[in-house]
Structure 1
Amino acid sequence: MARKTATAVPASPPLSWSSTFTLSPSPPPPSLTGDKLLLPQAALENLLEAASQSAANHLQSATNTRTTANDPASWDYVPPHVALARRNEARQQLPHPLTFRVTNLATGRIAYAGIREFSAEEGQVVLSTFLREGLALSTIAATSSNGSEQEQGDDTEVEIRIKVEAVNVPKGTFARLRPLDAGYEEDWKPILENHLQKNFTTLSVNNILAIPRLSSHQPGKKDFKFLIDQVKPEGTEAICIVDTDLEVDIEPLNEEQAKESLRQRELRKHAEASSGGQINIDGPKEGTISDGNFVRFNLKTWDRSKPIWINVPEENVDILVSTNTIQGYPKLEEWTWARFDGSKPIVIAPDDPIIISAREVRISLQVYEQTLIDPNSKKPMPPPTKFLLSITQTTHQNEDEEDEEMAETTTPDSEICSNCKRSIPKRSMMLHQNFCFRNNILCPHGCGQVFKRGTESDHWHCTECKAFGLNTPDRNTYNKHMDISHTARRCPSCDYSAGSLPELASHKTTTCPNKLILCRFCHLVVPQEEDTDFTAAITGLAPHETSCGGRTTNCHICERIVQLKNMEVHLKNHDLERKSQPLPRICRNVNCARTASDNNLGLCSVCFGPLYSSAYDPTNQALARRAELRYLTQLLKGCGKSWCTNEMCKTGRANRKPPLPAVPPKEATALVKPLVTKEGLQGGYTSHPLHFCVDETISKRKHLAEMLSFTQDSQGKSGWAIEWCVKAIDAVALEATDELETMNRAREWLEKFAVKRDE
């Protein structure tokens, strides 16, 4: 052990390197996030050269300190080829992670950074937005630019010199963050973990972290800012957060902020409590709703073989529907199914891929805010609207429509009015037409709508699609249609531009990189990220899940190392192998609880042992005599064991309740003869059972196996055949200490490896 310790590879020496660069005038690319920077290719060559020199100096000093390093007889002796290999290896290695101290030479401001890549222009350094703010570069650039314009009158840019120095930042163990805004009661720790892991190498004291919000409590603010107040180890300006167990503590900035956060939390709870709540099939809900507000319901149980009909008779109440695949309830710009025109109910087919995998249907009702569709309207806000929400799974809607169509069909005594296109009796057609042409107007655009004369100005047809409608005194439905169907909108979470509200909703619920998902591997609510390789539709995994699922773990069945994203398929292979197994062969002795061994009698090795003989017996006559002698000994003398209940044993017959009479010698011989014939013995597993006495341990195992065969599995389904239970007891009995542990281990074994009766 001493020699192994002495010849261990020395610790990485500190890297001594620094250089001065000009700040790149170009803005940082979107991929440069957190505390990352870009250096030129020449900087990498200089770093490797500095690492090689530092390693050589470190090895030389270590060799000089050992007085016996050149003595082959010493434990500290290092062969020349080993020293050369270490030196060559050190020349090609850089510290991990590679951290830098970045200094703004104009102001002396310092920041700590990690490297993204060596792809900057020669002589230039590219800093992320976070580093620019930490070094106050945006303020300096703006001031210099203004001064240049005032003095020179041109667009000359002032060079900003940045010193970059390689430093060894200690591994951090603790960081205390203080939120700069109220609302810190949200579960920020998993969000911070995900954000820091992807974007940061270091944390510096007194810097400000801007974390993207995952909720929409305050939609006007996209980032939540934290002040890095304290780090450990103490006495350091910065800590490294790579490959370390970092504890993060979030504390309020002051008492006023804590009170404000508590107040916001109570307001949100009150808003959530005033929502619609749970609804059932054929259980209508009624209530009121104001402009711009939502009333939310959730449906948890329904017949998955029938369509779902969701309807609100009130035309000005919009219906937004989604499932649990979207975090939270549906919103104006985030839904899967919607109805805005008030004409028909929403029908969700049972074979819709989204509803097949859904555990819950979520419904939001809203009244479109008047100021959104008619900003110049001076009408007062309308009073709250009453609504009646009904969810059914019947087809009575189609039947009603068919009845109406049948009622409007012509008969031999009727004809169609040329103005309103209704079926009118022939005897009253003249009077009807005189009234109809004087009071009704047929839409000239061919939509078939008939409206009262004088209200034709309220009837509209969209010039960009086939939609039409009628404005009401309280609602401008044309403006609402144009706002929903023909107004361009930009996704607030990314750079996507949609031509309409349905297009934006489809984007936010499918391909938006910032769509929130509950990761099935890390169990955090995180953005799904951008699908750059187009594999999400094939694998069914969001891009974040594809990356997160690349971590490995051990299979609980075979202990193989498997990626998390492949674990489901791996377990299905185990399940297929389990179901394809044949029924185990157990010992032919009905009193035994072991699996059969390889012999022609179908017995286990323990039961076959007393009958075994190494003598040559091609016809098995000697084997038959030994079996007959064993039977007769049991019937006439007994085994003398108090636990025995073998019906072919004198002791076992006496121990039964009620006791069985003893078998006389003459009857015993006649009873045994058919059991020990050549055909009966060599029939093996498929022939009649054998009845030999066993010890107490095997007797208890037999009882446990019978009890186990009558129980059900963990899902309450049919249990396992007695053969599988015997094999399970036999597999775990040696490791268990008592009967209860034996039963528990056997059930676990059966769940993993056995085939159930109904499979």
Structure 2
Amino acid sequence: MDFELRRASEKLEREQRERKEKARLKQERERKSRQEAARQREAIEAAQRSRRIYAAEAQFKADQEMEENLLVGRGIMFCHVLEAVTYQGNGDKIKLPPSCFTELSEQGAFDKGPLHFRLSDINQEAVSGVKDDQKQGATHAGVLEFTAEEGSVGLPPHVWSNLFRSGAPDTSLIEVRYVWLPKGTYAKLKPDELGFSDIPNHKAVLETSLRQHATLSQDDVLTVNHGALTYHLRVLELKPSSSVSVLETDIEVDIVGPDSASERTNQHVLKPLILGISESGIVEEGNYRYYKFLIEEETWVRISSEDANIEIKVESDTQDGDTDLYVSRHPLLFPTRHQHGWSSHDVGSKALILSSKDQSLGSGTYSIGIYGFKGTTKYRLVVTIQDNHDHKVGQKAASSSSPMEMDTVECRNCKHYIPSRTIALHEAYCSRHNVICQHAFCGVVLRTGEVKNHIHCDKCGQAFQQGEIEKHMKVFHEPLHCPCGVVLEKELMVQHQTSNCPLRLITCRFCGDMVQAGTSAADVRDRLRGLSEHESVCGSRTTTCDSCGRSVMLKEMDIHQIAVHQKN
């Protein structure tokens, strides 16, 4: 009996313990559940708070950006991310899709004046996290037309190179934003190359290049082409803003010299010469070395009165090498084998005499080109002013003495007039030692030992030494190919590229730039005026007459002044 009671009591205690343990475990699970639920509620509330804060910040940023866009756009809100593609063109005017025209038109952007846009590389902006134009790829541009494909924007080379300065990106997505720009009043530019200031009327050339631009941005690089030459000018400073409009405004331009550390050596440079001081140099075969010198007005007065000449002398210090000498008057900056005003092709040392008899000579700046004809040549170049006073005195003395020798007889061998008292002795000596060249129009008197070395060109008949004929044939009679397709010898090629070649470079009388002449003008009246194809088009631009204020075409301005204002 006691045993059964004890077992029942143990069973009851065990069951009570189990119920207590289950109750404890249940309470523990409920507590953990309540804690987990509280943590989840806190996490949800924190996430909701973060979303609300993020939304508020995004809304604030969007409102701020809209205010900025409206401010810079003067009430026009236009901002798109487009894929950049290149097209061949000049200046800074981009091509936008037709949908952009509709959007801008609906906001009245065309009523607010010229359209300007800020272009920025969104990839670089995302990396840098700034919107400063000086710290990321950004520039400004105008618009050329609305013909680009939807989702893309066409960029000319100038805009592309200034936008992607570190090279083409993998994905060329850019942000195009409408902005209002003030009209520029001042610009400071610095060429990367030497020689830009050597261009005649270089500011007029720069003005012609800027006609193809709508904007300028600080730190951009402006490309200026002058004939076959290319110059890069960096924008150092602009006023009144770091980005300005250049449309319908007068800008004061300062051009500073390039830094020696940043000089580019991919094109020729004119080295200045001082009259009377020699300059030494080395030129390799097929290359040019260029110099420049100035004939001042005072010097030209002496030359024009035949009191002085200009002598250009090149002395070669190398036996195996040889050079050619080419000279031109500006605006032709770099004379070549095909384009020059004067030339000398003598073997070894050579000299050119420029006198008042040359119709193309005058006061101004001249260029000298030393061309390496063969091998590597060391040379010395000097330009001097020769005084003709002593030469004239010698001529006068010779002429005054000639009447005293009236009793003369013509030598039957050399055809020179010799005093009759010595003619017999002269003819005996002359017939033994001298030979007359029998070539037509030559008749030069030669020593018997010089006959074998005296030779005439089979094509032009000029007389040369035996060692000079090879160079003469190569320089003057070897066919030359003009880029326009014409094949001519040297003399005809120089004349062709000076007056007839459609690819020849001329200085436009209206814009001052050096451009290709092109074919004949399409307008008969322009052909009668002697205008080239470029000048016919360039002269069709209008300008305001200073006398009456009317808009007149540039090529008609002289007729307008005579017919309307009776000005000669």
- TM-score normalized by the length of structure 1: 0.42
Query: Letter of the aligned partner of 1:175 in structure 2?
Result: A
CA distance in 2, matches of 1:456, 1:499: 29
1:198 and 2:190 are equivalent in the alignment: no
Tell me if the contact between 1:213 and 1:222 (Cα under 8 Å) persists in the aligned partners. Answer: yes
Alignment partner of 1:139: what SS? coil
Query: Letter of the aligned partner of 2:313 in structure 1?
Result: S
Query: Letter of the aligned partner of 1:375 in structure 2?
Result: G
1:285 and 2:334 are equivalent in the alignment: no
- Corresponding residue pairs, total: 427
Tell me if the contact between 1:317 and 1:387 (Cα under 8 Å) persists in the aligned partners. Answer: no
> Structure 2 matches for 1:673-684, cutoff 5 A?
none
Give the alignment partner of residue 54 of structure 1, picking from 107, 116, 122: 107
Tell me if the contact between 1:320 and 1:339 (Cα under 8 Å) persists in the aligned partners. Answer: no
Cα shift readout 1:193-243 (whole Å, capped 9, x = no counterpart) = 5145322222122222233469xxxxxx94444332333444x5x322223
1:211–1:539 CA distance, 2 compared to 1 (3 A): same
Residue of structure 2 equivalent to 1:227: 234
Give the alignment partner of residue 136 of structure 1, picking from 164, 172, 180: 164
1:346–1:222 CA distance, 2 compared to 1 (3 A): closer
1:248 and 2:230 are equivalent in the alignment: no
Query: Letter of the aligned partner of 2:107 in structure 1?
Result: S
CA distance in 2, matches of 1:46, 1:484: 62
Alignment partner of 1:199: what SS? coil
- Identity over aligned residues, as a percent? 16
1:465–1:34 CA distance, 2 compared to 1 (3 A): farther
Give the alignment partner of residue 527 of structure 1, picking from 514, 518, 521: 514
1:167 and 2:172 are equivalent in the alignment: no
1:199–1:497 CA distance, 2 compared to 1 (3 A): farther
Query: Letter of the aligned partner of 2:183 in structure 1?
Result: G
Residue of structure 1 equivalent to 2:188: 176
> Structure 2 matches for 1:87-98, cutoff 5 A?
96-98=113-115
CA distance in 2, matches of 1:361, 1:251: 27
> Structure 2 matches for 1:711-722, cutoff 5 A?
none
Give the alignment partner of residue 80 of structure 2, picking from 3, 12, 18: 18
Tell me if the contact between 1:15 and 1:167 (Cα under 8 Å) persists in the aligned partners. Answer: yes
Residue of structure 1 equivalent to 2:506: 515
Give the alignment partner of residue 141 of structure 2, picking from 87, 110, 113: 113
CA distance in 2, matches of 1:450, 1:514: 45
Give the alignment partner of residue 469 of structure 1, picking from 464, 474, 478: 464
Give the alignment partner of residue 538 of structure 1, picking from 510, 524, 528: 528
Cα shift readout 1:403-445 (whole Å, capped 9, x = no counterpart) = xxxxxxx99xx99x9xx9999xxx99x9999958xx8696899
CA distance in 2, matches of 1:51, 1:374: 64
Query: Letter of the aligned partner of 1:503 in structure 2?
Result: M
Give the alignment partner of residue 91 of structure 2, picking from 34, 44, 51: 34
1:347–1:290 CA distance, 2 compared to 1 (3 A): closer
1:375 and 2:432 are equivalent in the alignment: no
RMSD: 6.3
1:317–1:50 CA distance, 2 compared to 1 (3 A): closer
CA distance in 2, matches of 1:484, 1:15: 67
Residue of structure 1 equivalent to 2:490: 500
Tell me if the contact between 2:497 and 2:504 (Cα under 8 Å) persists in the aligned partners. Answer: no
Query: Letter of the aligned partner of 1:101 in structure 2?
Result: R
- Unaligned segments of structure 2, at least 5 residues: 1-72, 126-136, 263-268, 278-291, 317-322, 390-394, 400-408, 418-423
CA distance in 2, matches of 1:164, 1:495: 46
Structure 1 residue 139, shift from structure 2 partner: 3.3
Residue of structure 2 equivalent to 1:100: 117
Residue of structure 2 equivalent to 1:708: none
CA distance in 1, matches of 2:557, 2:274: 38
CA distance in 1, matches of 2:471, 2:315: 16
Structure 1 residue 114, shift from structure 2 partner: 2.6
CA distance in 1, matches of 2:152, 2:504: 32
Structure 1 residue 469, shift from structure 2 partner: 2.3
Structure 1 residue 14, shift from structure 2 partner: 1.6
1:106–1:373 CA distance, 2 compared to 1 (3 A): same
CA distance in 1, matches of 2:553, 2:367: 42
Tell me if the contact between 1:15 and 1:50 (Cα under 8 Å) persists in the aligned partners. Answer: no
Give the alignment partner of residue 547 of structure 1, picking from 528, 533, 538: 538
- TM-score normalized by the length of structure 2: 0.53
1:130–1:459 CA distance, 2 compared to 1 (3 A): farther
CA distance in 1, matches of 2:388, 2:506: 30
CA distance in 2, matches of 1:563, 1:460: 59
CA distance in 1, matches of 2:453, 2:416: 22
CA distance in 1, matches of 2:113, 2:464: 66
More strand by share: 2
Cα shift readout 1:541-581 (whole Å, capped 9, x = no counterpart) = 5645863563243474x7765444323223433588xxxxx
